[in-house]
Every structure is written in structure tokens, then in C-alpha cells.
Amino acid sequence: MPAYPLYQAIILTIVQGFTEFLPVSPPEPVSMAAGLKDPGLSFDIALHFGTLIAIVVYFFKDWVQVLGRGLGVA
């Protein structure tokens, strides 16, 4: 697995973070426009997995509350 420059990972992560909830395509067009090399599928999966983890952590309390009310616990 080839190593990618840190600046490329930072740029694509920032773009992913800003565009996650917008109806735009993923960061691949940005990387092509900026002249960055294609990071590959594993990097893209890791980027989306990181986004999923961030969303779960951010909304954890809300989801616990919704599930509790749905199950009649709260």
C-alpha cells in the first residue's frame, strides 16, 4: 500500500467534512482539480469511516435518547 502525502489527506478530509451533508459529489473531483494523485479505494473507505465515527460520536446522546423513547425506557 503506497503512502500518500499528509497534505493530501488533510485537504481531502477537510473537503469531506464540509461537503458531507451537502448534495455534492465526494472529494474526488476536488483532488483531480487540485492535481492530487488518486488515493485509491482504501483511502476513500477510511475517509467515509472516519466521517461515520464523527457523526456517531457527535449525535450519540441524541440517538440514545431516541432509542430509549422508542423502546419506552425514557
Domain boundaries, the chain: 6-70
pLDDT band at 66 (very low <50, low <70, confident <90, very high): very high
pTM of structure: 0.60
For residue 73, what is the DSSP state?
-
| More confident of the two residues 59 and 18 | 59
User: C-alpha distances in angstroms, 56 versus 26, 31, 35, 60?
Assistant: 20, 26, 32, 5
| More confident of the two residues 74 and 43 | 43
Cα distance between residue 12 and residue 14, in whole Å: 5
Average pLDDT, the chain: 77
